[in-house]
């Protein structure tokens, strides 16, 4: 046996890389940004470090939904083009201390972003954060490619409409082999489904065949929350907030329950909403 | 009048219309994927199968159909006659159908296997001109030759 000089053991165990998840849909206006904001807030509330990256260059919205528009000083392209450091550009959330936002550039074009640079940026963020959530722009062009390039996992947001399902189907094909591709069905109206006037969650997933992460009802609270810039996920009284928190739990692996399909409010709940009016 | 009562008592939801439209639109979306790729695949298929049997090239047809979780390729390749001597080694006709997702290189195998299953093919090779009878080998459905296509 050789007398081997023992190597000094590195004192720092490398931190496991965070998870990069892109929130995408193909079709615009199905609620990608709202979903990103709420899942991010719900994950960060549990103590995980989360950064939300707005990849919708030219149409910056995530800061508005998060209520952080007044705090944005720098954006993704400032970082990519070395006009600001990453730390300078990360906006600290005003409610959850472990939540950060990296805003998109509002006055630039999507194809000004270099795909490799974007990939590198996501990799850098994964060194620092437990979760990197990327809010993807609508469409399947350059902006989409830049948004998905660094993500191992994807959440496809789809509303129960023919056009949204078709686009989601296309996007799933374009995402190719990811570690995980989940589905969030957004804007479900239980009363319409019951009357046979809206596609059901099963109808949607008969086409897409993705693991269902959660179902979000179309309810006034969502609009109110975006008016105020306060993600519903942080509202303990909101059932929709609870649905977002359950989604976060399923992503983290702490919630193994099957997603709850929203039902119509009972007569008493409707009466309560009429008089109490929790949603303003 | 009857229609009116029908509507009154049995409200026809538009979600069934949505389902049907969705089904059709996705079908056409998937079928229209890269026609040049389909054409080149068809030519390759014919080339491979022609090593074993004589096929009616003009009547060959390759289409794609969405099945449960994947898209299945349906190749309809009419066979005109057997080749007098199959190239070695001869394909083994026995065994279970191929795995649900065989590698693309095995596309030609099921067609050959199918033909070899038939009694006529088991006989010693006959003069090719005499038995010029069209025999259709449906490559895909019976043998589960599902070729997943991105899309």
Q: What is the DSSP letter of A155?
A: E
For residue A134, how far is the Cα from the chain centroid? 7
Query: Which chain A residues are Cβ-neighbours of B13 within 8 angstroms?
Result: 195-197
Residue with tokens 């902006």: A143
Q: Closest to A199 (Cβ–Cβ): which among B12, B18, B25?
A: B18
Q: Find, in chain A, the residue whose alpha carbon is nearest to that of B69.
A: A209
> In a structure prediction context, what are the per-residue pLDDT tens digits for chain B, which is 151 residues long?
555 555 555 556 899 989 988 887 787 677 665 667 778 888 888 999 888 888 888 888 887 765 655 567 788 888 888 776 656 655 555 555 544 444 444 343 344 333 333 333 344 444 444 444 444 444 443 333 444 444 3
Q: Distances in Å between the alpha carbon of B45 and those of B63, B116, B125?
A: 13, 18, 24
- In this complex, do B11 and A161 lie within 8 Å of one another by their Cβ atoms? no
A97 Cα distance to chain centroid? 18
| Interface with chain A: mutation pick from B10, B15, B149, highest number of A CBs within 10 Å | B15
By C-alpha distance, the chain A residue nearest B67 is A207
| Nearest residue in A to B16, CA atom | A196
Q: List Cβ neighbours of A189 (8 Å cut-off, separation of 6 or more).
A: A160, A198, A217, A218
d(CA A272, CA A239): 14
Coil, strand, or helix at residue B138? strand
Scanning B52-91 for CB atoms below 8 A from A yields 69
Interchain proximity B26–A176, CB inside 8 Å: no
Q: Please list the alpha-helical segments (H only) found in chain B.
A: 2-9, 15-31, 35-50, 108-117, 119-122
ipTM for this prediction: 0.76
Q: Please tell me the distance in Å from A173's CA to the nearest CA on chain B.
A: 4
Say whether B150 and A166 touch across the interface (CB within 8 A): no
Note whether B36 contacts A: Cβ–Cβ < 8 A: no
The pLDDT assigned to B114 comes to 36
Rounded to an integer, what distance in angstroms lies between the CA atom of residue A51 and that of residue B41?
45
**Helix or strand run (H / E) with residue A84:** none
Are β-strands A153-158 and A180-188 bridged in parallel, bridged antiparallel, or unpaired? Answer: parallel
The pLDDT, as a whole number, for residue A208 is: 95
Pick B150's closest partner by Cβ from A176, A197, A199.
Answer: A176
Query: Which of A162, A169, A195 lies at the smallest CB-CB distance from B18?
Result: A162
| pTM for the predicted model, two decimal places | 0.69
Binned average pLDDT, 10 residues per bin, chain A of 280 residues:
60 79 96 98 97 94 95 93 94 97 88 91 97 96 94 98 96 93 97 95 95 96 94 96 97 95 80 64
Close Cβ partners of B37 (under 8 Å, ≥ 6 residues apart): none
Please provide the size of chain B in residues: 151
Hey, what are A121's tokens? 């940026």
pLDDT value for B21: 84
**Best CA proximity match to A237, nearest among A275, A268, A277, A264:** A277
Cα dihedral B59, B60, B66, B72, rounded to 10, equals 150
Locate the chain B residue with the closest alpha carbon to A164.
B22
Mutate to test the interface with A, among B22, B26, B66, B69 (most CBs of A within 10 A): B22
Q: What are phi and psi of A101, to 5 degrees?
A: -125, 135
- Any A CB within 8 A of B21 CB: yes
Q: How many CB atoms lie within 10 A of CB A66?
A: 29
Scan for tokens 């047809």, then name that residue. B61
Q: Which residues of A fall within a CB distance of 8 Å from B11?
A: 195-196
- Which chain B residue lies closest to A207 (C-alpha atoms)? B23
pLDDT in tens, B1-38: 555 555 555 556 899 989 988 887 787 677 665 667 77
Helix/strand/coil for B90? coil
Residues within 8 A of B (CB atoms), A 162-221 only: 162, 165-166, 169-170, 173, 176, 192-193, 195-200, 203, 207, 209
Task: Give CA–CA dist B41/B39, Å, rounded.
Answer: 5
CB contact under 8 A, A197 and B12: no
Instruction: Show residues of chain B in contact with A181, CB under 8 Å.
Output: none
* Residue A184, φ and ψ in degrees, nearest 5: -120, 120
B49 DSSP 8-state letter? H
Please name which of A174, A226, A193, A212 lies closest in space to residue A32, comparing C-alpha atoms: A226
CB B38 within 8 A of CB A222: no
Tell if the CB–CB gap between B151 and A173 is shorter than 8 Å: yes
- Return the structure tokens found at A240: 């929709």
């Amino acid at each position: 046996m050789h007398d081997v000089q023992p190597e000094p053991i590195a004192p720092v165990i490398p931190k496991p890389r965070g998870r990069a998840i892109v929130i995408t849909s193909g079709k615009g206006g199905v609620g990608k940004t709202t979903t990103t904001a709420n899942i991010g807030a719900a994950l960060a509330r549990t103590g995980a470090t989360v950064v939300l990256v707005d990849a919708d260059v030219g149409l910056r919205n995530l800061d508005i939904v998060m209520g952080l528009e007044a705090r944005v000083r720098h954006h993704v392209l400032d970082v990519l083009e070395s006009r600001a450091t990453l730390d300078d550009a990360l906006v600290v959330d005003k409610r959850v201390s472990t939540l950060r936002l990296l805003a998109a550039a509002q006055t630039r074009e999507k194809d000004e972003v270099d795909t490799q640079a974007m990939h590198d940026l996501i990799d850098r963020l994964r060194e620092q954060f437990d979760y990197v959530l990327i809010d993807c722009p609508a469409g399947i062009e350059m902006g989409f490619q830049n948004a998905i390039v660094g993500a191992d996992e994807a959440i496809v947001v789809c509303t129960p409409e023919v056009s949204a399902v078709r686009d989601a189907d296309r996007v799933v094909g374009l995402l190719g082999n990811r570690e995980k591709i989940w589905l969030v069905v957004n804007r479900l109206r239980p009363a319409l489904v019951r009357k046979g006037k809206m596609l059901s969650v099963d109808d949607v997933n008969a086409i897409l065949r993705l693991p269902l992460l959660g179902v979000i009802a179309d309810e006034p609270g969502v609009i109110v929350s975006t008016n105020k810039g306060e993600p519903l996920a942080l509202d303990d009284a909101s059932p929709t907030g609870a649905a977002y928190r359950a989604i976060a739990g399923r992503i983290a692996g702490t919630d193994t329950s099957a997603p709850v399909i929203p039902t119509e409010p009972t007569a008493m709940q409707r009466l309560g909403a009429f008089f109490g009016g929790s949603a303003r | 009048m009857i229609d009116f009562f029908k509507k009154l008592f049995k409200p026809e939801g538009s979600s069934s219309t949505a389902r049907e439209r969705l089904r059709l639109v996705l079908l056409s979306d998937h079928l229209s994927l890269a026609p040049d790729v389909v054409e080149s695949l068809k030519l390759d298929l014919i080339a491979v199968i022609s090593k074993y049997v004589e096929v009616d090239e003009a009547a060959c047809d390759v289409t794609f159909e969405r099945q449960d979780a994947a898209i299945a390729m349906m190749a309809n390749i009419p066979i005109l006659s057997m080749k007098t001597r199959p190239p070695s080694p001869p394909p083994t006709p026995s065994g279970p159908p191929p795995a649900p997702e065989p590698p693309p290189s095995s596309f030609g195998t099921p067609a050959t296997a199918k033909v070899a299953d038939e009694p006529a093919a088991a006989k010693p090779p006959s003069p090719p001109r005499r038995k010029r009878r069209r025999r259709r080998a449906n490559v895909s459905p019976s043998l589960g030759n599902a070729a997943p296509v991105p899309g």
